[in-house]
Amino acid sequence: MPINKTQALVLRTFDFRETSLIVSFYTKDFGKIHGILKGIRTEPDKFASTLEPFSHNEIIFYQKKNAGLHLVSACDLKNNFLSLRNDMYRFGHASFMMELLDALTPLEDKNEAIFDLTMECLSHMDMNINYEKIPTIYKIKILSLSGFKPHLNSCVCCNDRILSQSKFSNYLGGLLCPRCFKKDVKATLIFRGTVASISYIEKNDLSNNLRLGLNPQIKRELDNLLNSFIEFHLEKKLKTQRVLPYLENVLEKV
Ligand SMILES: [Zn+2]
């Protein structure tokens, strides 16, 4: 059984019997993996981490071939993102990002760019740098890195350049020109500024994206479009996606 050491973010945990914990991690070197931490519930000091969701840890695990559940022998906490964890708004959005990461990625499929993007977004949210834009940027970037990138360069049906008005089709996964509107009656009109913002965010790194001005109308359309695209392709609404609007509403009134 090979022994591996890697950086890992906690996606979810499940109690296993009276003593142990099964943890779903997103790792830098192996993608998403499931590991068991034996004895952690009866001997909490056995591991140097409390395994809280989205905490950054360094883990050592024995890789079991074809088992799907690996034995984690060490788990050291590197960053618990304490500032982010203590703010309800940022905590809610970070939880959404982790649920999205979990839903979009298959087991044991290494994607270092996705790990680095998630780490960078969590670190910026923790440092409180322009954090309102980060969930939107994260959605666009992770869709692109996980193979769900919407087709925006031309009409997804006839490949013609889009010169005027366009609609976005979740079903066809991209823009429709006016001649092809009838191909998806559920497609919705989209501002040119929204399309340009998605293309800009896909091509640029996080620091450049954080400097991008997003007017409230475009930000709202971007979020609505991305949420319905994600929901359509996952064939479900994420739990955190259902809770976030209530959370934002409550926080606005505080
Ligand atoms: Zn067309």
213 in Cβ contact with 72 (< 8 Å): no
Global pTM value: 0.92
Cα of 176 to ligand 1 centre, how many Å? 5
Q: Are residues 148 and 236 in the same domain?
A: yes
Q: Are residues 99 and 131 in the same domain?
A: yes
Cα distance between residue 203 and residue 223, in whole Å:
18
Cα of 173 to ligand 1 centre, how many Å? 13
Residue type, 57: N
Q: Domain of 53: which CATH number?
A: 2.40.50.140
Tens of pLDDT along 13-54?
A: 998 888 889 999 999 999 999 999 988 888 878 888 888 999
Spell out the per-residue pLDDT of the chain, length 254, in tens: 789 999 999 999 998 888 889 999 999 999 999 999 988 888 878 888 888 999 999 999 998 777 789 999 999 999 999 999 999 889 999 999 999 999 999 999 999 999 999 999 999 999 987 788 999 999 999 999 999 999 999 999 999 998 888 999 999 999 999 999 999 999 999 999 999 999 999 999 999 999 998 888 888 899 999 999 999 999 998 988 888 877 777 767 65
Q: At which of 80, 106, 134 does a domain end?
A: 80
DSSP state of 151: B
Strand order in the sheet with 166-169: 174-176, 166-169, 188-190
Q: Could you list the residue range(s) of the whole structural domain that residue 179 is in?
A: 84-253
Q: Are residues 126 and 236 in the same domain?
A: yes
Cα of 166 to ligand 1 centre, how many Å? 9
Q: Are residues 130 and 23 in the same domain?
A: no
Q: Are residues 89 and 150 in the same domain?
A: yes
Q: Are residues 63 and 106 in the same domain?
A: no
- Closest to 118 in 3D by CA, of 239, 222, 7, 226: 7
Q: Domain of 231: which CATH number?
A: 1.20.1440.120
Residue type, 193: G
Q: Are residues 199 and 100 in the same domain?
A: yes
Q: Among the residues of the chain, which ranges form H helices?
A: 82-85, 88-104, 112-126, 134-145, 192-203, 206-211, 216-234, 239-253
Q: Are residues 111 and 223 in the same domain?
A: yes
Q: How many domains does the chain have?
A: 2
Q: Are residues 216 and 124 in the same domain?
A: yes
Cα of 160 to ligand 1 centre, how many Å? 6
